[in-house]
Structure 1
């Protein structure tokens, strides 16, 4: 599959590298040509502009700092429908100082992106840091990492589920795009725990005990 990646940071690097290894054609798009070329050379993909990456293939990963997203979408012509109907995977986290959501009181990040672009947005890969996605595969004692997917388009969900499996992970459909706000909130909570040195697994009993 041809996958365009918007961004040249850690998440773009981790996921893009894994998809190249899985046999996909990946085009990285960034604001800095030098940084983009360096990432492409390291990962084995191609390098281009943000506009080229957005139009590259049937799937596009949005891997930018959330604060930069509105400006980048505007530069891509989101208001003119440049991304309308396209599959856009949103792995951003709108988390500000104090590990609180910057979207609090309004639509979640994924919903805002969908409304601004008309794209078929799937929220995915946002709940864990890039270090986990760099593992080959991302699996631990309990098995492969489960990746929650939130979206309203069945075909788009199936496509992203296949990309999840290519990483060696297990896709977990978690509801429509309206559920993405809960995933974003949960992630902000988890980030706060991790930065406090607390293992979130201590909050949860074994599955059998929780469902008894």
Structure 2
């Protein structure tokens, strides 16, 4: 699969690198040409250029920029993104007096704002619940049972593409509903990251019962 990565930061490097290792063709687009070239070289075998070229590069485009900039970037390249699967991995978060807080309004998600900004695209919310460094781990690093990647999508074909990307990385796809459910995934990120920052382990908050149907 051909994937255009818009951004040159940690998530662009981690996901772009993981997809390149899985055999996908990756193109890095950045406003800073030197940064895009450096990341492409780090990924190995990736092309590089402008965000516009990345937006029109392949079947999938990853928006790996700060959450506040993602909708405007999608609007800027809306024509190129039309018909493509657009992956939003951002988290609209900021420190607050009582911990990590969402910067979006109640009931609003960044993924939804991206979809509104590029209505011809097929936006999928995914890859926002773990630290960028985790995507660098090899398949099988978590034992026999692969961890899951929740994702939200309205378009069935886009959902299938993202599920394929997740599986190729050695993870397990976890469909979490339509794009209107992205608000819950983003809120979950606020909880998870807040617990990390406080020195805790979020996974301890989700023990599974021995008999879920009981």
State the TM-score, normalizing by the size of structure 1: 0.93
How far did residue 82 of structure 1 move? 3.6
Paired position in structure 2 for 1:130: 132
Equivalents in 1 of 2:135, 2:167: separation in Å?
12
Paired position in structure 1 for 2:102: 101
Could you report, residue by residue, the CA deviation over 1:100-146 in whole angstroms, capped at 9, with x for unpaired residues? Answer: 11113252111111011011001110111111111012642472110
Stretches (4+) displaced over 6 A: none
**RMSD value, Cα:** 1.6
Could you report, residue by residue, the CA deviation over 1:157-201 in whole angstroms, capped at 9, with x for unpaired residues? Answer: 001100001100000111111111100000111000010011112
| 1:145-164 paired onto structure 2 within 5 Å | 145-164=147-166
How far did residue 203 of structure 1 move? 1.8
Distance 1:208 1:107, change over 3 A: same
Distance 1:178 1:210, change over 3 A: same
State the secondary structure of the residue aligned to 1:149: strand
Which moves more between the two structures, 137-146 or 180-189? Answer: 137-146
How far did residue 74 of structure 1 move? 4.0
State the TM-score, normalizing by the size of structure 2: 0.92
Q: Which runs of 5+ in 2 are unaligned?
A: none
Paired position in structure 1 for 2:43: 43
Could you report, residue by residue, the CA deviation over 1:75-104 in whole angstroms, capped at 9, with x for unpaired residues? Answer: 32x3xx442332101101111122111113
Equivalents in 2 of 1:205, 1:12: separation in Å?
31
How far did residue 67 of structure 1 move? 1.8
| 1:23-34 paired onto structure 2 within 5 Å | 23-34=23-34
Could you report, residue by residue, the CA deviation over 1:20-57 in whole angstroms, capped at 9, with x for unpaired residues? Answer: 11111100001100111000001011111000000000
Count residues in correspondence: 209
How far did residue 206 of structure 1 move? 2.8
1:145–1:169 contact (8 Å) kept in structure 2:
yes
Distance 1:138 1:182, change over 3 A: farther
